A and B are shown apart, each in its own frame.
Chain A
Amino acid sequence: AQKITQTQPGMFVQEKEAVTLDCTYDTSDQSYGLFWYKQPSSGEMIFLIYQGSYDEQNATEGRYSLNFQKARKSANLVISASQLGDSAMYFCAIMESGYNKLIFGAGTRLAVHP
């Protein structure tokens, strides 16, 4: 089974609106971390937000928040007040305890329209 599934190959949103990017994961570990990265057209990988499996609160970083539903094994990224500069690929990733490697999903391409 895929460790990380991102079911939306492409999404578009109107500027200033909110958008949710889906991510589901598969692990039998109790202890793990979930990450979101942004990859603009220039190619670099930019860390956005992190959620630990034991964190009781949903993570937030500025306009980014993570809708963490542990029982459903989902970790959706919510971007509020979208900006044109948010247009990019977005990758969800998991790191399981004891393994220091990130396992990435296939990504979602977000286009923000003016």
Chain B
Amino acid sequence: NAGVMQNPRHLVRRRGQEARLRCSPMKGHSHVYWYRQLPEEGLKFMVYLQKENIIDESGMPKERFSAEFPKEGPSILRIQQVVRGDSAAYFCASSPPLIRGLTSYEQYFGPGTRLTVT
């Protein structure tokens, strides 16, 4: 049973280029989350998606960042016109649908994509 998969693991982009990060959730998981970790900091929530729906994007920067989780295929986090401050580790996590009565469910994290903007 494969875990959460992210690719690429490392991505180098020049300022102004686009970065596309992909995430395939665990089998049976329909909820996907993206988090960003700046150097020496904790993870910060960016966006929560279900298939074809953005449920919560309260942590997404207003410009240049977008996310999708299509009916078929992986979830994509897209960063347009990258700047040096976008250099970070981007983690994807997935969880199964909540069962009635449960407060929450642990999120299973992928290995992360380390984005370096030069």
Q: Do residues B31 and A100 form an inter-chain contact, with CB atoms below 8 A?
A: yes
Q: Do residues A43 and B89 form an inter-chain contact, with CB atoms below 8 A?
A: yes
Chain B interface mostly helix, strand, loop or mixed?
A: strand
Among B35, B45, B95, B103, residue most surrounded by chain A Cβ atoms (within 10 Å): B103
Contacts of A105 in B (CB 8 A): 42
Report the interface size for chain A: residues with CB under 8 A from the other chain: 27
Q: Do residues B106 and A43 form an inter-chain contact, with CB atoms below 8 A?
A: no
The one of A32, A52, A99, A107 that contacts B42, using a Cβ cutoff of 8 Å: A107
Stretch from B12-20, B62-70, B79-87, B108-116 contacting the other chain = B108-116
- The verdict on A12 contacting chain B, using a C-beta distance below 8 Å, is no
Known A-B contacts A95-B104, A100-B95; A43 and B111 likewise in contact (beta carbons under 8 Å): yes
Q: How far is the CA of A102 from the CA of B56 in the complex (A)?
A: 12
Q: Do residues B104 and A100 form an inter-chain contact, with CB atoms below 8 A?
A: yes
Contacts of A31 in B (CB 8 A): 103
Known A-B contacts A91-B42, A91-B43, A101-B56; A45 and B91 likewise in contact (beta carbons under 8 Å): yes
Q: Do residues B59 and A101 form an inter-chain contact, with CB atoms below 8 A?
A: yes
Contacts of B31 in A (CB 8 A): 100
Contact residues of A between 1 and 60, Cβ < 8 Å to B: 31-33, 35, 37, 43-47, 50, 52-54
Known A-B contacts A47-B109, A102-B43, A106-B42; A52 and B104 likewise in contact (beta carbons under 8 Å): yes
- The verdict on B27 contacting chain A, using a C-beta distance below 8 Å, is no
Q: Do residues B42 and A104 form an inter-chain contact, with CB atoms below 8 A?
A: yes
- The verdict on A69 contacting chain B, using a C-beta distance below 8 Å, is no
Look across to chain B and name the residue whose beta carbon is closest to the beta carbon of A50: B106
Q: Do residues A43 and B42 form an inter-chain contact, with CB atoms below 8 A?
A: no
The one of A32, A53, A97, A102 that contacts B107, using a Cβ cutoff of 8 Å: A102
Shortest beta-carbon distance from A26 to chain B in Å: 15
Binding site for B on A (CB under 8 A): 31-33, 35, 37, 43-47, 50, 52-54, 91, 93, 95, 97, 99-107
